[in-house]
Amino acid sequence: QQQVRQSPQSLTVWEGETAILNCSYEDSTFDYFPWYWQFPRESPALLIAIRPVSNKKEDGRFTIFFNKREKKLSLHITDSQPGDSATYFCAASMGTNTGKLTFGDGTVLTVKP
């Protein structure tokens, strides 16, 4: 059973639109949820992260909305730019102890100019 699920698998938006990427998880003990983005042939890089004490985390054009009761979160990218085209991974970990991350399979975002 996959612990972290992402949808859609791929998403295409026009420049300037808002892209919404979804994530859900199974284990209620997860308490740290980072989003990573990955460009082709590069390593994943931390984009933004949230802990369940908050239901929203904003960083510029990127916002995480978190629903603890439903075990769902989403990443909203406003005013999408072609440079935002990448694969976005939702991840989760249990506590600050081991830091082990469980990743979803990613959403491939394409922003058309």
Partner 1 sequence: EAAVTQSPRSKVAVTGGKVTLSCHQTNNHDYMYWYRQDTGHGLRLIHYSYVADSTEKGDIPDGYKASRPSQENFSLILELASLSQTAVYFCASRTENTEVFFGKGTRLTVV
Interacting residues toward partner 1 by CB under 8 A:
4, 32, 34, 42-46, 49, 89, 91, 93, 96, 98-106
Cβ distance to partner 1 smaller for residue 47 or 111:
47
**Least distance from partner 1 to the Cβ atom of residue 88, Å:** 10
**Least distance from partner 1 to the Cβ atom of residue 112, Å:** 21
Burial 21-47 (b: 16+ CB within 10 A, else e): bbbbbeeeebebbbbbbbeeeeebeeb
Cβ distance to partner 1 smaller for residue 64 or 106:
106
Cis bond before residue 8 (omega within 30° of 0): yes
Cβ distance to partner 1 smaller for residue 13 or 48:
48
Residue 109, Cα to own-chain centre: how many angstroms? 11
25 and 5 in contact (C-beta within 8 Å)? Answer: yes
The tokens for 99 are: 């830091």
- H-run or E-run covering 29: none
Cβ distance to partner 1 smaller for residue 16 or 95:
95
